[in-house]
Amino acid sequence: MSEPYLFFHGITKRFGDTEVVAPFFDLKIAHNEFVVFLGPSGCGKTTLMRMVGGLEMPTTGQILLEGELAGPPDRRRGMVFQSYSSFPWLTLAENVAYGMRYRGDLSAEEKRERCSHYLEMVGLADFADAYPNRVSGGMRQRVAIARTLAAGSEVLLMDEPFGALDAQRRERLQAELRKIHRRDAKTVVFVTHDVEEAVFLADRIIVFSRRPARMLADLDVLSILGPDRPISLRDEERFFRLRTEVLQMVRAAAGDDE
Ligand SMILES: Nc1ncnc2c1ncn2[C@@H]1O[C@H](COP(=O)(O)OP(=O)(O)OP(=O)(O)O)[C@@H](O)[C@H]1O
Ligand SMILES: [Mg+2]
């Protein structure tokens, strides 16, 4: 890899006495790569994402985006949080449109179109004018996903974005996300506990140890499964062979009590 697009350089992180990331975590992510962070609960995945998003500072080391310090949040990085709260005083459509507030390059008409397109994609077209307190948690999570996709950030930071969704919707959105990544050349960092989701989505899976998070494996999924991920891939033998392999790795990482 020449200059990495996103570079975790010598990162450690402590909260008081709690060591969350150690020792000196290094990771290089290329432009347009889809990287999945997979690891046991509480190991530090969200903390790492928040550092990339500029919401948390590493204790040592630096996070570099195209060679420059990542710094405070900006529109290049779009985040979907693990527990997202939408703005209750805005309708679902207005919540999605909020993500595009800095997109001076888009006309009002284009923004309306993008808004409808992404609401449709997440299955909320009929709820555009509803307020968040009138819809379920899973639907609010889908609004968050639509909002981040509509904003069109270069880097998508997604922290268990599909956790609250039913299995079918989840599969569909996974396939959509993979398509968006391919079509729009997005760099994606995606956190999940779910091995099947990780294998389906990833170009590369980073397996973490228990806290403090260390990198246990860096798996090149792209060379095994290729870039196209149709839903039918799940029925193929190479898919479940890889899934089993990763599952065993994750079990070993979590220890006996998980
Ligand atoms: N602001 C904070 N202050 C103190 N401790 C924190 C803070 N944020 C996170 N931690 C601790 O850091 C550790 C890692 O938390 P983090 O949320 O990054 O884990 P995670 O891998 O995302 O877990 P999960 O899979 O359950 O979401 C936990 O022990 C957590 O209690
Ligand atoms: Mg988390």
Q: Which ligand is nearest to the CA of 208?
A: 1
Please give the Cα distance from 178 to 192 (Å, whole number).
Answer: 15
72 and 133 share a domain?
no
In which region does residue 90 sit, left (phi positive, over 0), alpha (psi from -120 to 50) or beta (all else)? beta
As for how many domains the chain has, the answer is 2
Residue nearest to ligand 1 atom 1, measured at CA: 15
Determine the residue of 17, 37, 38, 45 to mutate for testing ligand 1's pocket, defined as the one with the most ligand atoms within 8 A of the Cβ atom: 45
Choosing from 105, 123, 152, the residue where a domain stops is 152
Phi, psi for residue 61 in degrees, rounded to 5: 85, -175
**Separation of 108 CA from ligand 2 center, angstroms?**
36
- State the residue range of the domain holding 186: 6-76+154-254
Average pLDDT of the residues in 31-35: 96
Say whether pLDDT at 51 is over 90. yes
Q: How long a stretch of residues is the chain?
A: 258
Which atom of ligand 1 lies nearest, measured to the CA of 193?
Answer: 25
Whether 232 maps to a domain, the answer reads yes
pTM (predicted TM-score): 0.91
Average pLDDT of the residues in 64-77: 92
**Separation of 219 CA from ligand 2 center, angstroms?**
21
103 and 201 share a domain?
no
Residue nearest to ligand 1 atom 17, measured at CA: 46
Q: What is the pLDDT of residues 148-194, one digit of tens each?
A: 889 988 899 999 988 878 899 899 889 989 988 888 888 999 999 89
Determine the residue of 19, 47, 194 to mutate for testing ligand 1's pocket, defined as the one with the most ligand atoms within 8 A of the Cβ atom: 47
Mean predicted lDDT score pLDDT of the chain? 90
159 and 148 share a domain?
no
Angle at 202 between CA 196 and CA 204, to 5 degrees: 120
Q: Are strands 18-29 and 77-80 parallel, antiparallel or unpaired?
A: unpaired
CATH number for the domain spanning 68: value is: 3.40.50.300
List all residues 6 or more positions away from 65 whose beta carbon is below 8 Å from its beta carbon.
5, 6, 7, 76, 77, 155
pLDDT, position 65: 94
63 and 92 share a domain?
no
Whether 81 maps to a domain, the answer reads no
Q: Which residues line ligand 1 (CB under 6 A)?
A: 15, 18, 20, 41-47, 82, 193, 211
214 and 230 share a domain?
yes
DSSP string covering 219-232: EE-HHHH-S---GG
